[in-house]
Chains A and B, each alone.
Chain A
Amino acid sequence: DAGVTQSPTHLIKTRGQQVTLRCSPKSGHDTVSWYQQALGQGPQFIFQYYEEEERQRGNFPDRFSGHQFPNYSSELNVNALLLGDSALYLCASSTGTGRAFFGQGTRLTVV
């Protein structure tokens, strides 16, 4: 049984560019949450998707958007990248109890 998979694992982008990160949830999981983790900090909740809709959102600007597909996989899009967007982006899947399993993360570096 594959766990949560994310792609790519590492990414370097230039300020102002746009980026798309991808996540495939653990088999049987229907809820996908995205987190941003800066160095030395805990994961910060970006948003959560369920049944292809954004259900909860953290304190992140509209530059951060997402999508969930019928197979429960999800994308995180960030527009107009800033240096401060450099972080580890984590995808977590769950079935509704909050017991979440994380993917290996995507390390985004904005230069």
Chain B
Amino acid sequence: GAVVSQHPSWVICKSGTSVKIECRSLDFQATTMFWYRQFPKQSLMLMATSNEGSKATYEQGVEKDKFLINHASLTLSTLTVTSAHPEDSSFYICSAEGQGWDQPQHFGDGTRLSIL
């Protein structure tokens, strides 16, 4: 089955640093990938839709200069949290479009980001 690998799974860093999270489709190509954020005891919130070879589409309220998304190939999308602060601490999850119109999205295992 389709596998999405997300790396790293867990990261702790100091306030003010930038953190890059990778999302890879391992055995299929994904023109479209999605980035979500999830706070404790809350549901997933879509941050942006990442399209290969073009600019990402951000949801309302998500700062595009804060959360940089690059989707340079059909198997890799990256999310960079720039100048991270404690309020950016969260669980970040990526997904890739399914292979076929009605097919489900495939999710990574998430990245737990903690900013000190």
B and A form one assembly: no
Q: B residues within 8 Å of A by Cβ?
A: none
